[in-house]
Amino acid sequence: MKNSLNIFLFSLALVSSQVFAAGKATVFVSFSKGFVSLYQMDDMSKIADIEVGEGARGMGISDDGKTLAVAIKSAGELLLIDTDTRKITKRIAVGKNPEFVRVFNDKAFVAYEPSNQTPAPGADASQHKKKAKDDDDATPARVSVVELKTGKKSADIEAGMETEGIEFSADGQLLLVTNESDENVSVHDIATGKLVKKIDTKKFGLRPRGIKRSPDGNIFAVTLELSDKLLIINKSLEVQDVISTGNVPYGVTFNGAGNEIYVALAKAKAVQVFDARTYAVKRQINVAERCWHFTLNHDESKLIAACGRSNNLVVADTQTGKILQDVAAPGTPWGIITYPRSTGSLDFKK
């Protein structure tokens, strides 16, 4: 009887360890309180928690799904995690306040900002500025490039003041970053790290944050957080359109077909869906408090939002907006991605 029980438990553990390897969709959520949680996409049941350290923020995952990269703000590190064993395999020092992460061609691009001058909406501006001064507020942000296969930093690209979002040109040669304190989008040659262009955004609105390229590569969408605007930049890197949004736009993405733009409204507790041709609002999906980031599932029938101020994950039907699940998630959820990779504010479908 004891042997039978042991065999059963071993088999159960083996099945559990193979869930991810078998290609079943998994949701990864980073929590500012110091951990990453894994959920089954189909029912949002929790698989595991991985302790990573205070200030877990941006995430990215390798093409094969075997390596998860997580920015840890308090430690100034990028962690590489083996998704099969759920163990940390590498700790790479990148710099002060790493936040946004994008994985592209087996490289992790990590924005870190020695300066942190701009307060979050509703924060005490005077206290924030004092802290920024103490943190060396004259130092521009940088984007570290980390090779996922070796776990080594291969480049450091100087960006602007307080880099927040990262995107790539369709040909993979250019890096575009949003610099909220400089009020611009800077464009860099990935191979050399050299600055190619600065796109001034302040005459259109304040505090550029999220940025996403359309699947066809023809336009980039940029959220202007403090002006309730969405900026459209064409592939010639010129501002093409300015669109009004709801209150405090943050994370942004196109759907896989490229005919819709999803914009998370941090204070409006919603995600707005725009027609990517006419820029008219098609519908609104109500979520919860301060949902900075979100993802679609692989067939784009569901939206899952990480809501940091209400400590929950909201799953909604992308077409009807109906709330399908409301999952308690204490610990200040911040970032959210899936594997197989799906379109979202932090990632894109492969």
pLDDT at 336 over 50: yes
**pLDDT in the model for residue 162:** 87
Burial category of 284 from C-beta neighbours within 10 Å (exposed 0-12, middle 13-18, buried 19 and up): middle
Looking at residues 321-344, what average pLDDT do you find? Answer: 97
Confidence check: pLDDT of 137 > 60 = no
pLDDT tier at 123, thresholds 50, 70, 90: very low
CA-based torsion, 340, 53, 331, 104: positive or negative: negative
Q: 345 is written with which tokens?
A: 């504010």
Asked whether the beta carbons of 260 and 273 are under 8 A apart, the reply is yes
Helix or strand run (H / E) with residue 6 = helix 2-21
**Phi, psi (rounded to 5 degrees) for 248:** 65, 75
Burial class (CB in 10 A: 0-12, 13-18, 19+), 9: exposed
| Beta strands across the sheet bearing 107-112 | 98-104, 107-112, 142-147, 152-158
Whether residue 1 is predicted with pLDDT greater than 80 in this model: the reply is no
- DSSP 8-state assignment for residue 346: S
Distance of CA 345 to the CA centre of its chain: 5
Phi-psi map region of 257: left, alpha, beta (phi>0 left; psi -120 to 50 alpha): alpha
- Asked, for residue 254, whether it belongs to a domain, the answer is yes
User: How far apart are the C-alpha atoms of 334 and 303, rounded to whole Å?
Assistant: 15
Per-residue confidence (pLDDT) for residue 113, from 0 to 100: 87
Q: What are 11's two structure tokens?
A: 């088999």
CA angle 218, 220, 222 (to 5 degrees): 165
User: Residue 14 domain-assigned?
Assistant: no
Q: Which string of DSSP letters, residue by residue, matches 98-109?
A: EEEEEEETTEEE
Confidence class of residue 5 from pLDDT cuts 50, 70 and 90? very low
Residue bearing tokens 């995952």? 61
In-domain check, residue 232: yes
pLDDT in tens, 57-105: 999 999 999 999 999 999 999 999 999 999 999 999 999 999 999 999 9
Q: How confident is the model over 172-191, as pLDDT tens digits?
A: 999 999 999 899 999 999 99
Q: Is the pLDDT of residue 20 over 70?
A: no
Q: Which domain holds residue 245?
A: 24-122+129-339
In the predicted structure, residue 12 carries a pLDDT above the cut 90: no
Please report whether residue 278 resides in a domain: yes
Q: Please give the tally of structural domains in the chain.
A: 1
Q: Is residue 344 part of a domain?
A: no
Numbers of helices and strands, H then E, in the chain: 2, 28
Q: What is the pLDDT of residue 7?
A: 44
More reliable by pLDDT, 11 or 300: 300
Over residues 213-262, the pLDDT tens digits come to 999 999 999 999 999 999 999 999 999 999 999 999 999 999 999 999 99
Residue 241's DSSP bridge partners are 232
- Across the chain, mean pLDDT equals 89
What confidence tier does 115 reach under pLDDT thresholds 50, 70, 90? low
Rounded mean pLDDT of 270-296?
97
Residue 267 has pLDDT above 50, yes or no: yes
Q: Answer with the residue of higher pLDDT: 325 or 118.
A: 325
Q: String of b and e for 123-138 (b: at least 16 CB within 10 Å)? A: eeeeeeeeebeeeebe
The enclosing domain of 189 has a CATH number of 2.130.10.10
Checking if the pLDDT of 129 tops 50, the result is no
pLDDT above 90 as % of the chain: 82
Residue 8 lies inside a defined structural domain of this protein? no
Which pLDDT score is estimated for 114?
79
Whether residue 5 is contained in a domain is answered as: no
- What pLDDT, on the 0 to 100 scale, is given for residue 187? 97
Identify the pLDDT of residue 128: 42
**Mean local confidence (pLDDT), 110-139:** 55
Residue 138 has pLDDT above 70, yes or no: no
Give the mean pLDDT of 11-17: 42
In a domain, 17, yes or no: no
pLDDT at 3 over 90: no
